[in-house]
Structure 1
Amino acid sequence: MTEIFGDIPGVAVYSDDILVSGQTLQEHNERLNIVFKRAKENNVKFNKEKCSFTKESIKYLGHIFSADGITVDPDKVRAIKEMPSPTCLKDLQRFLGILNYLSPFIKNMAGETEILRQLLKKSTDWQWTANYETTFIRLKQLICQVPVLSHFNVHDPIVLQSDASKSAVGAVLLQNQHPVYYASKTLTETQQKMAQIEKELYSIVFACIKFHQFIYGQTVTVETDHAPLITLFKKSLVEVPTRLQRMMLKIQPYSLNVVYKKGSQMYIADTLSRAALPERSSDELDDDVIVHVNLLIKSLPVSPERLQWLINGTNEDESLQILKKYCKDGWPSSKTQVHQDLHEYWQYRLDLHTENDLIFRSYSIVIPKKLRPEILKIIHSGHLGIERSKAFARGHVFWPFMSTDIKNIVQSCHICLSHRSSNAPEPLLPHDVTLFPWEKVGVDFMDYKSKKYIVVQDYYSNFIEIMTVASANAKTVIVCLKSIFSRHGIPVELFSDNGSPFNSAEFKNFIWEWGIHHNTSSPYIPRSNGLVESAVNICKRFLAKSEESGTDPYLALLQFRNTPRGNLPSPAQLLMSRSLRTQLPTVTKNLVPRTVKFQQYVKTKEENKNKMKKYYDRKTKSLSELHEGDEVYFKKMPDSPWITGTVRSKCDQPRSYTIEGSDGFIGRRNRQHILKPPQSPQAVSQDMLRKSPNIQTSDNSHTVAPSIEEHTTPVETRTRYGRVIRPPRRLHFDN
Structure 2
Amino acid sequence: MDKRFTAFITPSGLFEFNVLPFGIKNSPTAFQRAMDHVFGDLVGKNVFLYIDDVVICGDTKEEVLALLEKVLQRTITSGFYLRLDKSEWMKPTVDYLGYQVGRDGIKVRNKSVKSVTEAAPPTNKAELQSFLGLMGYLRSFIPRYAEHTARMCELLKKNARYEWTDRLQLDFDGLKRGVANTATLHAPRPGSPYVVYRDASGVGVGAALMQEQDGQEVPLEYASRKLSDTERRWDTRERELYAIKYALEKWRDYLGLEKFVVRTDHNNLRYLATAHTGKAQRWALYLVRFNFDIEFLQGSQNNVADWL
TM-score band, normalised by the shorter chain?
0.3 to 0.5
TM-score by length of 1: 0.21
The structure, 1 or 2, with the larger RCO (C-alpha pairs under 8 Å, 6+ apart) is: 2
More strand by share: 2
